[in-house]
Structure formats: C-alpha cells, structure tokens
Structure 1
Amino acid sequence: MSNIKIKVISRNPEDYLRATKRDIHKLPRNYDPSLHPLEAPREYVRALNAVKLERVFAKPFIGNLDGHRDGVSSLAKHPSRLAVLASGAFDGEIRIWDLAVRKCTRNFVAHEGWVRSLCYTPKGDTFTSVGDDKTIKSWKAEVESPDDEEPINTLLSMSVVTGVTHHRIKPIFATCGEHCQLWENTRNEPVKVFKWGVDSLHHVSFNQVEDNLLASCASDRSIILYDCRESGPLRKVVMELRPNALAWNPMEAFIFTVANEDYNLYTFDVRKLNHPVNIHQDHTSAVIDVDYAPTGREFVSGSYDKTVRIFETLKGHSRDVYHTKRMQRLTCVKWSLDNKYILSGLMK
C-alpha cells in the first residue's frame, strides 16, 4: 500500500463562536495576495467612488431657507443689497429673505395661483411680480409694518403673464405670455406689443449691457430677439427642442446662453445665430434655468436631474456638480452678485 499524506486542519471552536447573539461571526481569511489578484483594482475603484461622492454630496451646501409651504417657482436678486433675496412659490406666496441671518423678513400672498416671475427695479426700492391671475403687481421693497402689504400698482393683462424683466435704466419693464409687451408703471396699457405668431412665450430677459435688446423663449422651440426702439421683433432662432430659459453674459453684450429641454445648454452670439458658439453637456434631464456669474466667465444651471452644475463659458463640460440627498427637481438658480454663492429653488 502506497504512502498517503493527509493534511488535517485543526481549529479551536472557541475562537469562532460568538459570546452573545449580538456579536459578529468570526470568519477566517487568508490574506495571501496571490489568492486575491483583483484586490488592488477593486480598492482603487472604491477609493475613486468615495472621492466622487464626497465631492458631490452636500460638500458645498451651506444652509436652507425654510418657510414656503409649496415649491419655489422663482427667485429675484436685489440689485444693490447682497443679503436680500425674494422668492415666489407655487401657492402664490412671496417671501423676502435676509441671507445674512437666513431668516424671512416678510411674507404675503401676492397672487391667486403660481407666482411665475419676480424682478427688482434697478434702484431696488420696488419689485414686480406676475402670476397666473393675469395681474402684474408692483410692491415696495421695504415696509414699515406687516399690515402694509398692499401693492403700489396693479396692471391687468388680457392673458396669463409668465415672465417679467426690467430695463437697466429706463422706468419700463417687459412681460411675456401670449405676446411680448413693454409696460410703464404710469400706464394701464402696454407701450408696445411684439407679435410673431407663436402660441406663447414663457421667459423674457433684458440685456444689461445693450439695454435696448431683449430676448424671449417661445413654446414653438424658438428664441426671439427684440429691440425696444423697433416696432417688431428682430430675429428668430428655432431649436430642436424647447428652450426653457436664457441668460445674457454681463460682460459680453452679444453673448447669451439658453437652457434647453434636450439636457444641454447652448451659448449663442447675436451677430451669428446660425450655429451656437458652444454646447455645454453633462446634465441627464431637462435644463430648467441658467444664470451668469457677475464676472461673465462662468454660469450656473439647474435641471430636473436634481443637480446644480457650474460651467465655464468656453468649455463644454461642467467643472462642478452640486447635489444633496434631500434635493428635488430644480426650478430656478441664481448666482450671487458678490460671486461667492449659488442660490437654488426646488419643487416639493
């Protein structure tokens, strides 16, 4: 009979038994690297994901402003006071915030239904709001008592007004809805009405450098440019999908960026509208709002993919993405005038 070698593994059961039911089972493990050839790449992937998650989840988050009972539909920055912010909600409520202490200083119901848009005047002493009740209301920026919450002026529109923007110098402002209209606070009728045969307009914005130039986004997938001195629209650009919002570059008068439904942002030059200057990618859902930094070198975008992204103007991909675990679909984003903070409004 040939010699047979038998190896016997001997273990003390007491070393592998739990003292109590709450203890974790002790398992033997062989740490020989030859038995684990994928350990190094696996640990590299884990470390890389940990760095990405640390960058994405709540790292730059400073705080939230609680108070609205419904989702935030619009935001407005004060032109001269960094700590003042106005927000409108889907239930018609407007709140004025003191960002330094993160508290609400005023709140009142301004409209019946959705507050579509807010805009401060250049001096900052009043602000204008538009809503689903077809009214355009002007409010004092500061009131002495909470009981004095009546609008300074109320203008009635023939159709729902979806956006408002104020001229940088002149006491006129533009609204969009069924048509683009120019208004003065002293008149009950619009000064000018621009028509181009579209169903409706949902966003309008004045250029803050070439202050007679403004642009709007239409429901027929087009971007329409206007001049206050002209009697009709200037140019029209038709996109593949609907543009949701646009923002003018505060340093380059002829550059604007459009937030589009096809998950991208497009930067155009007014002097050559045949092709976009740049296409900014990375979002995974419709881009809802966009706002430029005061330097004009970067802009921020908010999307239905629950992320806020920062893009450099000359690059096609975002340099940063912000997302928190509690974040919902974004409806509006703003870049603070001191170039330090980003403000966002969310659905609930």
Structure 2
Amino acid sequence: MKVKVISRNPDEYLRETKHDIHKVQRNFDPALHPFEAAREYTRALNAVKLEKVFAKPFIGSLDGHRDGVSCIAKHPKKLSILISGAFDGEIRIWDLPQQVCLKNFVAHNGIIRGIAYTPKGNRFISIGDDKTIKTWNIKEQEDCEVNEPKNTILSKTVLNNISFHGKASTFATVGEVCQIWEESRNTPVRTIEWGVDSLHDVAFNPVEHNILASCASDRSIILYDIRDTDPLRKVIMNLRTNKVCWNPMEPFIFTAANEDYNLYTFDTRNLKHPTNVHMDHVSAVTYVDYAPTGKEFVSGSYDKTIRIFEAGKGHSREVSIMIFKAPVDPNFIIFHTLIF
C-alpha cells in the first residue's frame, strides 16, 4: 500500500529575521501548476479540519415525526430506550440500537411540553398545552392497539415542564407556579411561589432527591427543597436561563444554559459567582445534559451546533454542526452523547 504524506519544512517558508525576503513557492515543471504543493497542503489542512468537525458525535437520525420534536426522555434503567414528544401531540418510543420506532400514538391536543419517567421505568408521565397530566404504562402501550392513559389529571394552570423524583412517586411541574404532585392524587400536594410570572424548566437533583431547581422568566434560577414550604435561594442572571441540569456525581453542582451564548456552572454552597463559564456557542444555548460520569456535558444552541464540554474547562472539546431543513426539523439526531 502506498501512502502519500504532505509535510512542510519550516526552512522553506519561514524567515530567519524580519528583514529577509519571503521565499516564493515555485514549481519549474511546465506540466504542473507552480503553486501545486501549497494548494495541496491547504486542501489537506481543510479536509482534516472538516473531518474533525463532522466525524465523531454523529451516529444517525431517527425519522418519523411529522412535526418538530419538543422534548425527549431517557429510560432510567435502559440506555436503549428513548421517548420523544412532538409539537403535534405525538409520542414515539424508540429503540436506539436498532434506530426504529417501537410505538407511536397521539397523547395530547397541542404541543407536548415535557415527558418524565418514573424511577423504576415502568411508567412515564407527559404534559401538554391542553393542561393535562397523563400517566402511561409502557408495557400496555407496546402491547395494545388502543392507547389510553392510565390516569389523566386536569391542571388549573399552564404547564411548561415536568421532572420526577429519583426515589419516590413524586414529581414536580412548573408553569405559572411550581407544583409538587403525588402519583396517587389528582391535586397537587404543595404549591411553591416566589413572585415570578412563569417558570419554564425544572430539574430534580439526581443525588439529593429532595432538591430541585427551576428557571424563571425574570432571568432567575430558583432552588427548592420539597421538605420546606418556601424556596431556598435565587440567582439572578443577566439574561434568561433556558435549561438547568445537575451533575449526577456532585450533588451541589449544576450547569445552566443561558441566552447570552454561554453556560454557567454553579456551586450551591456559593452562588455569588459561577465556578466556571463555558464559551464557544455563538447564539442562545437551549439545552444541557450531563454524562453519567459527571465529567462531561453536552449542549445545544440556536447556532445549529451541538458541543461537548469537559466539566472543568471553559471551551468545548468536540463540536457537531447540524444543517436543519426547517427552523424546527421533524427529525432528531442520535449522538454518542445522547446517553448523557
């Protein structure tokens, strides 16, 4: 096998002093272009850069949704199962290794705002713009042709997101207020307010299960303890925070995806300043999720890039550029980082 190697000798293009004349690359063979070597080197350099940009994180795409994907949920026990909800109210259950849809059905009238698994993974709860909270049994959905929820709760307020407790049958929803629910009851067991117009994201701590964080419309990040009647702390950012995610290995660390193109990692023991600012996105950051090891996290942005960050560093180590066919693509992409 013949291998061609492109190399450059620094003596051929660097000057010893600034007063020396620049050396001009020249090929005296009339059959070849005089700058062929320089052009070929530039092409090879660009090819290496593009290969690094497009190669590593991308695996494939899951096709089937007729409208844009609004939310996804990972199975707490199986990395091969994923659930996605769309803007047309449809839910699809996916097998990631096979890249096939196991089941699809219309769950809500309008946009599905959030999906959350129970700790055992045998049921999941979905919320939508129709102000309903529906509990679904996974086994029944896979076996039956008629898709009926196990339980349906009509909420009095608008619902924007949902998060499930890591151990108990308790979940939290946010909208106009933060509400704590029990699976066995059709009314919230507690309502927690802190003078904001609306909340758009909520996340339970995966280690300290009674702690949760939410993002509010007044640019704040609010911390709650469901054992108390009042919120714990509030952090005011310069711009709105779109998503918050807890580190699964360090329960006092969380990362927030912000509208100012950056991600901020905070330590709950000292919320005056972030412990790290993660840069590289060139538009609003909309999503963040940690790896199970807690050493890396993935982020998505309006700049159509998905970046992988090391938790302790301020710049991304990998980037994937996505070319969408529409403002919200009806397909979504599988990455190695999706198991995060």
Structure 2 length-normalised TM: 0.85
CA 1:37/1:194 → structure 2, altered by over 3 Å: closer, same or farther? farther
1:204 Cα deviation from its structure 2 partner = 0.1
Give, in whole Å, the separation in 2 of the partners of 1:230 and 1:54.
52
Asked whether 1:343 is paired with 2:338, we answer: yes
CA 1:268/1:335 → structure 2, altered by over 3 Å: closer, same or farther? farther
Matched with 2:277 is 279
Matched with 1:102 is 99
1:193 Cα deviation from its structure 2 partner = 0.5
Match of 2:113 among 103, 108, 116: 116
SS in 2 for 1:46: helix
Deviation digits for residues 57-108 of structure 1, max 9, x if unmatched? 2554221111100011101000111211000001110000111211111111
Equivalenced residue count is 309
Return 5+ residue gaps in structure 2 as ranges.
1-25
Asked whether 1:127 is paired with 2:111, we answer: no
Give, in whole Å, the separation in 1 of the partners of 2:188 and 2:133.
11
Higher relative contact order (CA 8 A, sep 6+): 2
1:56 Cα deviation from its structure 2 partner = 1.6
Match of 1:305 among 298, 303, 311: 303
Give, in whole Å, the separation in 2 of the partners of 1:329 and 1:308.
16
The residue type paired with residue 105 of structure 1 is L
Which structure has the larger Rg over C-alpha atoms? 1
The residue type paired with residue 203 of structure 1 is D
SS in 2 for 1:62: strand
1:37 Cα deviation from its structure 2 partner = 9.4
The question of whether the paired residues in 1 share the 8 Å contact of 2:203 and 2:214 is answered with yes
Give, in whole Å, the separation in 2 of the partners of 1:97 and 1:220.
36
Aligned-residue sequence identity (percent) comes to 63
Asked whether 1:205 is paired with 2:203, we answer: yes
* Matched ranges for 1:139-154 at <5 A: 139-143=136-140, 145-154=143-152
SS in 1 for 2:143: coil
1:270 Cα deviation from its structure 2 partner = 0.3
Structure 1 length-normalised TM: 0.83
Matched with 1:263 is 261
The question of whether the paired residues in 2 share the 8 Å contact of 1:183 and 1:189 is answered with yes
Kindly report the root-mean-square deviation, in angstroms, between the aligned alpha carbons of the 2 structures: 2.5
Return 5+ residue gaps in structure 1 as ranges.
1-29
The residue type paired with residue 96 of structure 1 is I
1:316 Cα deviation from its structure 2 partner = 0.1
The question of whether the paired residues in 1 share the 8 Å contact of 2:291 and 2:337 is answered with no
1:153 Cα deviation from its structure 2 partner = 1.0
Matched with 1:61 is 58
The residue type paired with residue 342 of structure 1 is T
